[in-house]
């Protein structure tokens, strides 16, 4: 039997692990697949048979209790014989009730086990994963049907009791691993009690390896270990009884087992149930029992171990990513990658809305530090990603097979988040047609999803319509539709239910039918600045200053204060350049360019009046400041913007501009000698200088005002006085 599986359907109490293939409409894709496959269906029947046997004892007890109740009701005599019969019947009933209570507890234990493993099975995307889940289910049920009940310990009065709660998980195991969900820790328990009988009770909130070492003559009778996650006890001497459990095991009379950590109180509660006086309990601080002896005094037997076997699993969190890095399966995201993502684009896979516009990812890329620290690019197909706190950003190509546990549902409080809030999975663009994941072909269905979709008439029809529309629409916007195909198929393969698959296909059909890809272009949003014929290849620079260091000596723009002067030099021969400038105070901007520089546009925004001078007449200009009028839809930069807000504001104009480079000083390109810059003294835009008489009066008032050091202006102010002469 090559392929095995178990899928769990929670009905009335107790829950059932086997799928009911007689049910007409199974909700989960994997449940449906069990009933479609003869091999999986056979395994499902085996699980059903075991469950039926597990249910027989409680049903027999209920019938027996019902018969005893009827007998007791018939014993109505007042003589001694009747009273003795009633007492005997009552005793039998009390015993049956106790056994029935234990059976109900066991049923609750079985239900909890099934609920946990059911979700794992329904999350599988491959038959291999399904087979592993089936093996866990079958092994758990068989073990449960055969194992003895948990029993509370009896500790002789002359034996010592020590508890180690492993509160400080500090020693991470780098070799042996018990879980891929959490890091495995190691606790060394050193016992030095020669001539004494010792009982150890060990608990941990983490996957834990307990290394037991004892000195000659120390008699460790029994060791009980329990935790929230898998536990392993090693190194104890022959003859030591060991009982090891953890939270997800399926146990009989589980209330009598030591398992879980319970905030470090599990061992105490367990001993209290065993009616052991609290005064007898001692604590092994740091794993030390008795006086600490020399290391060579302790004996260790590596061949002796009990508990969860170690496994060749991928470590969680950073250790897992480091292993994938070492194996060459992933690499870290670099600054070059981030720039490539900004230019070529990415698509957020863990969002049920397809987001294509570069502008939608602006805030995400603004936090590039987090991306560089926790971003990984998949280089090869991997079965799983490291488990853990999900802080990693994962970038995949269109042709890659998705890891089984890649995140496809970034949500907060039931709502799908925006890009950058909780998103962690991204498709790298461009998505070439020859590397796209294939659509579902019902002539040759492969895998779980394909076979279930093709066997379900409504899903099959939706899939056929999706494939047809892809072929019809691809030529209209091939780059975006290729990306949408990859996005849709990745999300489709992340579905657990038929309803989810149907919704994904419905959304795709509507998106293609209504040609919504036209709404996803950068220019679909209305532009907020009407610059004409701006090439996306232009270099874009932004500069902001609260007030330039130098005052204007030949033009006053405001009657209410000083006017400042900023000289902007642009030296980018053979390049198209766009400038965005901003100042809080009234400012005259003098623009100097080298002859071969193609300055396309200059946009200025400020609080006080702003004026542009010196650019060539063909350069497009937009000058905005408080109180100036402008046409609707041509706002551009309407006020003063601090340096850190310039990039967001420029991209928000939606005029097809790509990367915005922020300037620390008003110099673009390599600074040339003054003689190489050109300046058109006849060209000006924006605020008009005040008449000479008004200017003279302003200068008189200004001379009477206290001088303010430019250094006292906000940190956004820049320095660097030009040697170029002011132009009249």
Beta carbons of 171 and 185 less than 8 angstroms apart: yes
- Predicted local distance difference test score (pLDDT) of residue 378: 95
- Say if residue 722's pLDDT is above 70: no
Give the separation between CA 354 and CA 488, rounded to whole angstroms: 9
Point out the least confidently predicted range of 69-78, 478-487, 604-613: 69-78
User: Taking the domains of the chain in order of start, what are their residue ranges?
Assistant: 29-146, 160-307, 320-520, 539-712
Placement of tokens 């320095």 in the chain: 719
Q: Residue 574 corresponds to which tokens in the numbers above?
A: 């053979």
Looking at residue 706, the DSSP 8-state letter turns out to be: P
Of residues 702 and 315, the one with the higher pLDDT is: 315
Give the separation between CA 334 and CA 320, rounded to whole angstroms: 19
- Predicted local distance difference test score (pLDDT) of residue 417: 47
- Say if residue 350's pLDDT is above 50: yes
Q: Tell me if the bond preceding 694 is cis, omega within 30° of 0.
A: no
pTM for the model: 0.60
- Give residue 520's region: left, alpha or beta (phi > 0; psi -120 to 50): alpha
Q: Residue 655 corresponds to which tokens in the numbers above?
A: 């005029």
Of residues 539 and 352, the one with the higher pLDDT is: 539
Q: What is the mean pLDDT of residues 375-404?
A: 87
Q: Is 26 helix (H, G, I), strand (E, B) or coil?
A: coil
pLDDT range class, residue 573, cuts 50, 70, 90: very high
Please write down the long-range contacts of 241-245, taking CB distance under 8 Å and 24 or more positions apart.
242/306, 242/307, 243/306, 244/306, 244/307, 244/308, 245/150
Give the separation between CA 507 and CA 514, rounded to whole angstroms: 11
Give the separation between CA 42 and CA 39, rounded to whole angstroms: 5
Beta carbons of 131 and 5 less than 8 angstroms apart: yes
Q: What percent of the chain has pLDDT over 70?
A: 86
Closest listed residue to residue 14, CA positions, set 70, 68, 57: 57
DSSP 623-655: EEETT----TT---S-S---HHHHHHHHHTT-S
- Say if residue 149's pLDDT is above 90: no
pLDDT range class, residue 523, cuts 50, 70, 90: low
Residue 305's DSSP bridge partners are 234
Looking at residue 395, the DSSP 8-state letter turns out to be: E
- Predicted local distance difference test score (pLDDT) of residue 39: 83
Q: Residue 99 corresponds to which tokens in the numbers above?
A: 């056994």
pLDDT tens sequence across 313-331? 788 888 889 999 999 999 9
Q: Which of 145-149, 674-678, 715-719 reaches the highest mean pLDDT?
A: 674-678
Point out the least confidently predicted range of 521-530, 545-554, 623-632, 654-663: 521-530
pLDDT range class, residue 273, cuts 50, 70, 90: confident
The CA-atom distances, in angstroms, between 100 and each of 55, 62, 96 are 12, 7, 6
Residue 242's DSSP bridge partners are 223
Give the separation between CA 269 and CA 718, rounded to whole angstroms: 68
- Predicted local distance difference test score (pLDDT) of residue 342: 85
pLDDT tens sequence across 191-211? 999 999 999 999 988 899 999
Placement of tokens 């889940």 in the chain: 133
Point out the least confidently predicted range of 3-7, 157-161, 259-263, 432-436: 3-7
Q: What is the mean pLDDT of residues 252-263?
A: 71
How many angstroms from the chain centroid is the CA of residue 206?
21
Point out the least confidently predicted range of 37-41, 336-340, 720-724: 720-724
Q: What percent of the chain has pLDDT over 90?
A: 38
Beta carbons of 149 and 252 less than 8 angstroms apart: yes
Which phi and psi (to 5°) does residue 491 adopt?
-70, -35
- Predicted local distance difference test score (pLDDT) of residue 4: 33
Sign of CA dihedral 589, 592, 597, 598: positive
Q: At what angle do helices 498-513 and 478-492 cross, to 10 degrees?
A: 170
DSSP 325-382: HHTTSEEE--HHHHHHHHHH-EEESSSSS----GGGGHHHHHTHHHHHHHEEEE-S--
Of residues 451 and 517, the one with the higher pLDDT is: 451
- Say if residue 1's pLDDT is above 50: no
- Predicted local distance difference test score (pLDDT) of residue 713: 42
DSSP 290-338: SS---GGGEE-EEEEEEESPP---PPSHHHHHHHHHHTTSEEE--HHHH
Point out the least confidently predicted range of 30-34, 147-151, 672-676: 147-151
Beta carbons of 583 and 547 less than 8 angstroms apart: yes
- Predicted local distance difference test score (pLDDT) of residue 510: 93
pLDDT range class, residue 706, cuts 50, 70, 90: low
How many angstroms from the chain centroid is the CA of residue 401?
19
Give the separation between CA 662 and CA 649, rounded to whole angstroms: 12
Of residues 313 and 687, the one with the higher pLDDT is: 687
Give the separation between CA 643 and CA 580, rounded to whole angstroms: 11
Beta carbons of 669 and 599 less than 8 angstroms apart: no
- Predicted local distance difference test score (pLDDT) of residue 420: 54
Q: Residue 598 corresponds to which tokens in the numbers above?
A: 């193609």
Which phi and psi (to 5°) does residue 639 adopt?
-165, -170
Point out the least confidently predicted range of 97-106, 247-256, 294-303, 671-680: 247-256
- Predicted local distance difference test score (pLDDT) of residue 412: 42
Q: What is the mean pLDDT of the chain?
A: 83
pLDDT tens sequence across 284-307? 888 999 999 999 999 999 999 998
The total of other beta-carbon atoms located within 10 Å of residue 105's CB is: 16
Q: Residue 538 corresponds to which tokens in the numbers above?
A: 């232009």
User: How deeply is 94 buried, as exposed, middle or buried, from its count of CB atoms within 10 A (0-12, 13-18, 19+)?
Assistant: exposed
- Say if residue 684's pLDDT is above 90: yes
User: How deeply is 500 buried, as exposed, middle or buried, from its count of CB atoms within 10 A (0-12, 13-18, 19+)?
Assistant: middle
Beta carbons of 555 and 692 less than 8 angstroms apart: no
The CA-atom distances, in angstroms, between 114 and each of 16, 129, 137 are 7, 17, 8
pLDDT tens sequence across 218-234? 999 999 998 888 999 99
Of residues 54 and 439, the one with the higher pLDDT is: 439
- Say if residue 495's pLDDT is above 80: yes
Which element (helix H / strand E) includes 620? strand 620-625
- Predicted local distance difference test score (pLDDT) of residue 578: 96
Residues in Cβ contact with 314 at an 8 Å cutoff, skipping those fewer than 6 apart: 180, 320, 323, 324, 384, 385, 386, 387
Q: What is the mean pLDDT of residues 100-122?
A: 74
- The percent of the chain in helix, strand and coil, each rounded to the nearest 5, is 35, 20, 40
pLDDT range class, residue 414, cuts 50, 70, 90: very low
């Amino acid at each position: 039997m090559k392929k095995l599986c178990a899928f769990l359907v929670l009905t009335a109490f107790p829950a059932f692990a086997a799928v009911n293939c007689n049910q007409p409409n199974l909700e989960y894709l994997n449940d449906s697949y069990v009933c479609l496959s003869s091999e999986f269906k056979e395994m499902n029947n085996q699980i059903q048979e075991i469950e039926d046997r597990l249910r027989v004892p409680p049903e027999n007890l209920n019938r027996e209790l019902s018969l005893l109740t009827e007998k007791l009701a018939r014993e109505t005599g007042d003589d001694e014989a009747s009273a003795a019969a009633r007492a005997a019947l009552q005793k039998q009933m009390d015993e049956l009730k106790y056994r029935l209570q234990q059976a109900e507890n066991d049923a609750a234990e079985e239900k909890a086990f099934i609920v946990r493993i059911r979700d794992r099975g329904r999350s599988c995307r491959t038959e291999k994963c399904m087979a592993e889940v089936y093996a866990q289910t079958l092994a758990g049920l068989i073990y449960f049907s055969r194992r003895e009940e948990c029993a509370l310990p009896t500790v002789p009065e002359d034996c010592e009791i020590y508890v180690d709660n492993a509160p400080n998980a500090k020693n991470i195991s780098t070799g042996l691993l018990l879980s891929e969900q959490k890091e495995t820790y190691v606790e060394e328990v050193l016992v030095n009690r020669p001539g004494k009988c010792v009982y150890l009770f060990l608990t941990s909130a983490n996957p834990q390896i307990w290394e037991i070492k004892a000195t000659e003559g120390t008699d460790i009778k029994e060791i009980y270990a329990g935790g929230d996650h898998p536990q392993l006890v090693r190194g104890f001497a022959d003859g030591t009884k060991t009982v090891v459990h953890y939270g997800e095991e399926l146990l009989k009379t589980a209330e009598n087992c030591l398992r879980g950590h319970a905030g470090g109180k599990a061992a105490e509660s367990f001993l209290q149930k065993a009616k052991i006086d609290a005064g007898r309990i001692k604590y092994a601080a740091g794993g030390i029992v008795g006086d600490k002896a020399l290391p060579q005094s302790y004996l260790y037997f590596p061949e002796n171990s009990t508990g969860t076997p170690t496994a060749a699993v991928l470590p969680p969190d950073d250790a897992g990513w480091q292993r994938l890095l070492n194996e060459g399966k992933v690499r870290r995201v670099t600054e070059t990658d981030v720039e490539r993502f900004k230019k070529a684009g990415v698509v957020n896979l863990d969002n049920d809305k397809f987001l294509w516009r570069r502008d939608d990812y602006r805030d995400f890329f603004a936090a590039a530090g987090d991306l560089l620290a926790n971003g990984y690019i998949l280089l090869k197909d991997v079965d799983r990603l490291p488990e853990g706190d999900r802080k990693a950003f994962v970038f995949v190509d269109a042709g890659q097979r998705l890891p089984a546990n890649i995140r496809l549902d970034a949500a907060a409080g039931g709502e799908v988040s925006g890009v950058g809030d909780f998103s962690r999975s991204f498709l790298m663009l461009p998505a070439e047609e020859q590397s796209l994941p294939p659509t579902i072909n019902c002539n040759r269905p492969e895998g779980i999803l394909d076979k279930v979709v093709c066997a379900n008439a409504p899903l099959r029809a939706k899939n056929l319509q999706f494939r047809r529309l892809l072929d019809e629409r691809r030529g209209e916007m091939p780059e975006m539709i290729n990306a949408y195909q990859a996005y849709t198929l990745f999300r489709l393969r992340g579905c657990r239910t038929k309803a989810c698959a149907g919704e994904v296909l419905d959304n795709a059909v509507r998106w293609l039918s209504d040609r919504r890809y036209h709404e996803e272009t950068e220019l679909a949003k209305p532009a907020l600045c009407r610059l004409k014929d701006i090439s996306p290849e232009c270099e874009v620079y932004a500069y902001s200053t609260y007030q330039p260091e130098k005052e204007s000596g030949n033009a006053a723009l405001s009657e209410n204060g000083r006017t400042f002067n900023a000289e902007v030099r642009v030296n980018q021969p053979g390049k198209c350049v766009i400038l965005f400038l901003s100042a809080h105070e009234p400012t005259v901007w003098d623009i100097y360019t080298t002859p071969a520089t193609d300055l396309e546009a200059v946009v200025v925004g400020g609080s006080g009046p702003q004026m542009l001078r010196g650019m060539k007449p063909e350069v497009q200009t937009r000058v905005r400041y408080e109180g100036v009028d402008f046409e609707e839809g041509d706002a551009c930069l309407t006020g003063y913007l601090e340096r850190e807000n310039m990039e967001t504001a420029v991209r928000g104009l939606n005029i097809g501009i790509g990367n915005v480079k922020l300037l620390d000083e008003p110099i673009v390109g390599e600074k040339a000698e003054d003689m190489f810059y050109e300046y058109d003294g006849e060209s000006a835009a924006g605020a008009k200088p005040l008449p000479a008489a008004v200017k003279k009066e302003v200068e008189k008032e200004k001379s009477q005002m206290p001088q303010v050091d430019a250094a006292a202006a906000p940190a956004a102010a820049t320095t660097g006085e030009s040697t170029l002469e002011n132009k009249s």
